[in-house]
Structure 1
Amino acid sequence: MLRRLPRALPRLPPAAAAARSVVTAVPLAHVEVGDRGDRPPVVLLHGLFGSHGNFSTVAKTLVRRGSVKAGADTRCPEPRRQPPQPADDLRSHEPGCAAPPDPPGHHQVHPPGTQHGGQDGHDAGLAADLVERLISVDISPVSSTPVSEFSAYISAMKLVKIPDGLSRSAARQLADDQLRPVVQLPQLRQFLLTNLVEVEGHYTWRVNLEAISHHLADIMNFPVFHEPYPGPALFLGGSNSPYISSKDYPEIQRLFPKADVQYIKGAGHIVHQDKFEDFITAVLNFLPPP
């Protein structure tokens, strides 16, 4: 199950909210790698605190080894009243903007013709006409709140203080030192630090921490669906991560009757970073042959 999470927006006064009510979904900004040919594209959707750069090496490797076309999304920042719909994302798969992305959901990969279901109100079966098969990377179709440490990470990021005038490398090192007591895994800190940007001489986070924090319960929750997704599905987890648990198997089986669950030994939540070659192998083994 590949999630697209609601856009986290700050609260608006009534007049502004009414004006925004006419805003519709924006095109999906993305980066394309390789030539499509006659095969459906592989669509990769990054996760919370992520950007298209997280999957750029994965996309290039899949193109080189799997003879496919890959694209990574970079969410446009224009506000919208309603969260993006999964069908909108694929049907409007065209360049939209080049601004820094705001945060969508969890780490995920979408193999040929693949798309996410749920988290924004669609039944999984609704994706069947667009999605040939799908992979969920280290996430289950259940609430992630009991196992998530994102609330602590957000609090730590809010407390980071960086003086003006530092070089980018010095700023990253200082932020890394300040995050270390809470975010103990070095690779996870480096992932979060990809969001540290310099704007007019000041260092700030490009993700909206206040909005994410305010809506974190909604982001980590998962709605109730009734119609299953009929295509092949792979739930690919890290053996050191709690995000795909045996307790989730009944719900995975209910919503994805053709699903297989696999774990990559030694990988945490950021599976493709921890065990890159094993991750690529698992994805290519799941894709149909060229």
Structure 2
Amino acid sequence: MTKLLNYQQLGQGKDIILIHGLFGRLENLNMVAKALAEQYRVTSVDVRNHGDSFHDSVMDYTTMAQDIVELMQHLAIESAVVLGHSMGGKIAMELALNCPEKVQKLIVADIAPVQYPAHHNKIIAGLQALNFSTMKRRQDADKQLAHYVDSLSVRQFLLGNLTNENGNFSFKCNIDYIEKNYANIMQAYQGDNQYLGTTLFIKGANSDYILPEHRSNIVRLFPNSRARIIQGAGHWLHAEKTQAFNRSIINFLTAR
């Protein structure tokens, strides 16, 4: 039996699908979903091994894009605008490149279709080291994670996955499966397809995830693409500059 991603729908109208990034969950894009739901039907998803979706040892982009296809079939969505942030952007690109008929327009937030160096090793080690048996409060998890992750904002983002049922703490992401598939997650797009639909790449001005040297790969795979830079924003551009981010999306969707 097909396992379906957990999802949440808001609004009515033409369909938009939102896909979060690594260690995230669908709630991360709520500020985008709520704004778009005034004009569209917005489906936010938890990708596999994240949020309230199923856990599975396979986690490559072809498979994760197929998860979106199967959810669309379940929801009777023939095609949609697809927006992805970070890892979610790579899933969205994979979907557009493999199943272009499913993607009306593509929006990619602060990621490129390229290989990235490993840069989450301390985060993964810290999350794997969490000792839930000794936790009495959420602050206990933060203290443990602080030995591995200096940034308070990053720790707060990660610990948004912490759940507490009857005093028993657990973590929503399957960190062991993420660690096993980490090389896949950092990988560049592996195929030769092109997506000819209209595409918007949105970059945080202070982020180094999209660089000038990525332009040739982007143009080769997405020849009908344009770029928008959000000033004063880093990789978490949708949270740091929500109004500017949402305005960029709505302008793109309504442009003729």
Quote the residue 1:266 is aligned against: 232
Quote the residue 1:86 is aligned against: 65
Quote the residue 2:41 is aligned against: 69
Quote the residue 2:105 is aligned against: 133
Residue 80 and residue 207 in structure 1: after superposition, are their counterparts in 2 closer, same or farther (change >3 A)? Answer: closer
| In structure 2, distance between residues paired with 1:60 and 1:182 | 34
| In structure 1, distance between residues paired with 2:59 and 2:28 | 26
Quote the residue 1:35 is aligned against: 12
| In structure 1, distance between residues paired with 2:154 and 2:141 | 13
1:220, distance to aligned residue in structure 2 (A) = 1.1
Match of 2:86 among 106, 109, 113: 106
Quote the residue 2:172 is aligned against: 206
| In structure 2, distance between residues paired with 1:153 and 1:82 | 18
Whether the aligned pair in 2 keeps the contact of 1:107 and 1:137 (CA below 8 Å) is no
Match of 2:121 among 131, 144, 151: 151
1:263, distance to aligned residue in structure 2 (A) = 2.1
1:81, distance to aligned residue in structure 2 (A) = 6.3
Residues 1-290 of structure 1: matches in 2 within 5 Å? 25-36=2-13, 39=14, 41-64=15-38, 67-75=39-47, 76-77=53-54, 79=56, 84=63, 86=65, 89-93=68-72, 94=74, 106=86, 108=88, 116-118=92-94, 124-144=96-116, 146=117, 148-161=118-131, 164=134, 166=136, 171-199=137-165, 201-288=167-254
Matched residues, number? 240
> Normalized per residue, which structure has more strand?
2
Whether the aligned pair in 2 keeps the contact of 1:30 and 1:52 (CA below 8 Å) is yes
Structure label with greater radius of gyration: 1
Whether the aligned pair in 2 keeps the contact of 1:162 and 1:174 (CA below 8 Å) is no
Whether the aligned pair in 1 keeps the contact of 2:57 and 2:177 (CA below 8 Å) is no
Task: State, as a whole percentage, how many aligned pairs show the same letter.
Answer: 29
1:136, distance to aligned residue in structure 2 (A) = 0.8
| In structure 1, distance between residues paired with 2:246 and 2:183 | 32
**Partner amino acid for 1:159?**
A
1:43, distance to aligned residue in structure 2 (A) = 0.6
| In structure 2, distance between residues paired with 1:88 and 1:201 | 33
Whether the aligned pair in 1 keeps the contact of 2:18 and 2:44 (CA below 8 Å) is yes
Structure 2 alignment gaps of length 5 or more? 48-52, 76-83
> Normalized per residue, which structure has more helix?
2
Q: Deviations over 1:177-218 (max 9, x none)?
A: 333354333332211011111245332222111221122111
Q: TM-score, normalised by structure 2?
A: 0.81
Q: TM-score, normalised by structure 1?
A: 0.72
* 4+ long deviations beyond 4 Å: 78-83, 107-110, 162-165
| In structure 2, distance between residues paired with 1:202 and 1:194 | 16
Whether the aligned pair in 2 keeps the contact of 1:58 and 1:280 (CA below 8 Å) is yes
Higher mean C-alpha displacement, 85-94 vs 51-60 = 85-94
